[in-house]
Chain A
Amino acid sequence: MVSWVRLTVLLLLAAALYAPILAASSEGQEFYPCSQCHAALTVTGQSRSNEFHGIDLAEGAHGGLYCSNCHQAPQVDVLVGGVNISIPGLHPRDSLMDLNKVCSTCHADIYRDYQLHAHGNQTYTCSGGTAELVEGYKGVGYWFHICPEYRDLSVEPAKACVECHNPHDPTMPALSILPEPSDRPSPPDESSIALGGVVAVLAGLGIILWVAPIGKRGGEP
């Protein structure tokens, strides 16, 4: 009897703990802070790696940094500049753009380039319009823009820093390449031209053979 009570209590506790996570994952749009599960997860000023997340700051372009350079120790989910991070999955663009503040702390020059649209790629927007990512010619991922008039377009950065650069290993990996270019269009069938050439040569010969005897005859006294 006691064991049944214990089991029920354990199940209720588990349900209470995982309910927000299940709700978040089923809706797909809600995010929860890391501390929801990792209440005791902290970073110290000396942390440089995390085996579970596969992070090792001894390697890569951010090699030599400490976790606390970007995460406000001892909390993991608060970054420098007061930006909060959440897990899991696809974050909305605005929250990803928020993370740019962290990158700009050290990379001010590149961030300036980014703001001037000289670093990273850009996209355009129009009032009342949308853009759909479609698979296009030869497998290219192409943004199909739908605008009411296609006028007064404005350019903005297409991606946040972390969409291209993994913050823990920021060198951008090479992407797969697309198929080879098409062959140059071939000119039309030239057999008719060749036939025309043969006809012209034969006609020329015919004229010579026809004219020559006349010339000879005309030359006789």
Chain B
Amino acid sequence: MSGSRRVDEKRRNLLKAGVFAAGISFIGVSRSTLMSMLKPVSLSEVLGVPPRRETEETLARKAEWKEERIKEWCSRKVEEICREYGEGSEECAEARRRCEAVKVKATPARQGVAFAMALDVNKCIGCRRCAYACVMENNVARNNGIEWIKVLEAPREGEAIDFLHAKLDYTDAPKEDMVYVPVACMHCENPPCVMACPVRATWREPDGIVVVDYERCIGCRYCMTACPYGARHFNWGVPEPSVLELNPNMHILGNVPRQVHVVEKCTWCIHRTRDGGIPACVEVCPVGARVFGDLNDPESPIRRVLEEYGAFVLKPEAGTRPRFFYFFGPARTPAAKEGGGEK
């Protein structure tokens, strides 16, 4: 009896010593070592299987199928519009024009391309044009209140940004003591959303764009919880994009009209960038604060700004390695004068 108690006591002491040693080593180990130890591991790495990606053929087939469905839906909407406004109306003609132009592409990633975006915090005036042009470009339904880009207004303290007191609903900008930080999908190199998805409906493409397969998404919203940037949005209601404002340039993994109960997010305008264009937010920015390009191309604008001005990322401690960079450029856009800026 006493022998077994002694054994129990020994085991308990051993466990205590183990816990104590673990605690000491946890405190003592350097942060960088800990970060490297805690490097996220994806299921595909553990199992040795390649990450899930649709093949080009499958995607092309899906795109063809989707285009047919969209055209069917679109022609129904055109009939409604023409009935409401009249056959000879501008609205009817516009809806018909957009509907006929619908093209769902499945352009694959180009070999050796690594897309990235950078934003000059000194230039950004917080005007929100990027956020609303993004809605137009990506056929985001207006009835669900979804906007992929959110612009934060945060107090500036020297070289630091006080994100604790950031807000979204400012009505006057730009202000002298504030900086404006648009936030959307960061297209991380270690995307936690991809690891969280139980049905592998989201993945990172070879060119760095993190995409969602809307047909496969089950709407569990695990990815939204996993994303440290709040970049994913859920369609609570049936999305009803307006045909009169429909963007006919579509990509099967990008801005095709979504169905209810799926998650959506920024794709760096995959329907434009894969074919040599630039994202809509870059095009609309009135101060040219956004820069987009291929990290592997030494002549690309993104390389130019990163080499010239350096960069920082949001929440580096999350270990996600974002491909969206922020930098402080050479000149600051002045604050708006009393009574608002120019139109």
Of the candidates B131, B272, B293, the one whose C-beta lies within 8 Å of that of A117 is B293
Tell me which residues across on chain B come within 8 A of A141, comparing CB atoms.
Answer: 129, 284
CB–CB A152/B136 < 8 A: no
Alpha-carbon separation in the docked complex, A9 to B173 (Å) = 58
Q: 1/0 per residue A138-166: CB within 8 Å of B? A: 11111111110111111100100000100
Check B136–A136 contact: CB distance below 8 A: yes
Write out, one digit per residue, whether chain B residues 264-286 have a CB within 8 A of any chain A CB (1) or not (0): 00000001100111101011111
Interface status of A137 (Cβ within 8 A of chain B) = yes
Partner of B135, one of A124, A137, A188: A137
Find chain B residues with CB under 8 A from A183 CB. 145
Q: Which chain A positions have C-beta within 8 A of B78? A: none
How distant is the Cα of A116 from the Cα of B236 in the complex, in angstroms? 42
Question: Which of A124, A142, A147, A187 touches B133 (beta carbons < 8 Å)?
Answer: A142
Q: How far is the CB of A155 from chain B (nearest CB, A)?
A: 5
**B107, B233, B288, B341 — which one has the most chain A CB atoms within 10 A of its CB?**
B288
**CB neighbours of A142 from chain B (8 A):** 132-133, 136-137, 280, 284
Q: Does B287 contact A (CB under 8 A)?
A: yes
What's the dominant secondary structure at chain A's contact region? Answer: loop
Interface flags, B291-314, vs A, CB<8A=1, else 0:
101000001111011000000000
B156 close to A (CB within 8 Å): no
Docked-complex contact B169 and A180, CB < 8 angstroms: yes
**Binary B-proximity of A208-221 (CB < 8 A = 1, otherwise 0):** 00000000000000
B334 on the A face (CB < 8 A) = yes
Chain B residues with Cβ under 8 A from A201's Cβ? Answer: none
Interface size on A, residues (CB 8 A): 49
Q: Is the Cβ of A153 less than 8 Å from the Cβ of B145?
A: no
User: By the criterion CB–CB under 8 Å, are A137 and B288 in contact?
Assistant: no
Q: Is the CB of A178 within 8 A of B128?
A: yes
Q: Does A25 contact B (CB under 8 A)?
A: no
The answer to whether A172 and B287 touch across the interface, beta carbons within 8 angstroms, is yes
A185 within 8 A of B: yes
Question: Which residues of the other chain, A, contact B147 by a CB distance below 8 angstroms?
Answer: 181-182
Measured CB to CB, the nearest residue on chain A to B302 is A118
CA of A187 to CA of B277, assembled, Å:
36
Which A residues are closer than 8 A to B by beta carbons?
A: 113, 116-124, 136-147, 149-155, 158, 164, 171-188
Known contacts A116-B299, A177-B172, A177-B341, then 4 further A-B pairs from the complex at CB < 8 Å, ordered by chain A residue = A137-B136, A173-B341, A181-B151, A185-B144
18 A–B contacts, CB within 8 A, in A order: A117-B291, A121-B288, A122-B278, A122-B283, A139-B132, A142-B280, A147-B249, A150-B248, A150-B271, A155-B276, A173-B334, A174-B336, A175-B341, A175-B343, A181-B147, A181-B169, A182-B147, A185-B145
By Cβ-Cβ distance, the 4 closest A-B pairs, closest first, are A174-B341, A182-B145, A140-B132, A118-B301
